[in-house]
Structure 1
Amino acid sequence: MKRSFFAVAAFSLLALSAHAQQASGNLMGNAQPGDTVEVTGNGTGWHREVAVQESGKWMIRQVPLGEYTVVVKHADGTAEKAKGAAVRAGSTARVK
């Protein structure tokens, strides 16, 4: 009985510690309402587009770790110069 208890306890600890490790982070920034933000992973093909909120803020959650190129596209069809961003585990990178 003791062995079963300790085996279950050890397995539970391993499962919790594995769950605590994060393999993603977030990206956020500001732009003009009506703009679209395009994020592309450098060399990974990961891609997301989000609309900028009325407040001028945007955020993309659960972005895989790595280096990204961020482009803000305006409603008139023009685009800002591409910016780089690095996503680290469990953190939010602000794109300026």
Structure 2
Amino acid sequence: MNSAIRNHLKRLALGATLALGVTAGAQAQQASGNIMGEAVAGDTVVVHNPAIGFHREISVEKDGKYNLRRVPIGIYEVTVKHADGSQTVPTKQIRVQSGTTARVQ
């Protein structure tokens, strides 16, 4: 094998290694988990993380359960509101960890 081919193969191997490293780093930055709990059907659950500006609202299903998927890791404030807008329970804090489901009690 001549030196030109060997150098080309080395560059290809280096490029592939760098590309895999960038992909792994990007996946680590997208770490997320889930939040689930129970409330009255028709209520709205508000999930907020002021540290990162994350805010999401979800309606409680007919069975009284809610489940938020792919929530970035961190500490969240969870508030449940009745359909008429009144707060039903005090705001709770919950920690979301990568690859797990945090249950609101």
Q: Could you state the TM-score of these two structures normalised by the residue count of structure 1?
A: 0.79
What percent identity do the matched residue pairs reach? 43
SS of alignment partner, residue 89 of structure 2: coil
Instruction: Say whether residues 1:13 and 2:20 are aligned partners.
Output: yes
Instruction: Say whether residues 1:47 and 2:55 are aligned partners.
Output: yes
Aligned length: 96
SS of alignment partner, residue 15 of structure 1: helix
2:43 corresponds, among 31, 35, 38, to 35
How much does 1:88 deviate? 1.7
Instruction: Say whether residues 1:83 and 2:92 are aligned partners.
Output: yes
**Higher normalized helix content (fraction of residues):** 2
Unaligned runs of 5+ in 1: none
Unaligned runs of 5+ in 2: 1-7
Change beyond 3 A, Cα 1:10–1:64: same
Q: Which residue of 2 aligns with 1:61?
A: 69
CA distance in 1, matches of 2:50, 2:74: 8
CA distance in 2, matches of 1:39, 1:30: 14
Change beyond 3 A, Cα 1:14–1:31: same
Larger Rg: 2
SS of alignment partner, residue 34 of structure 1: coil
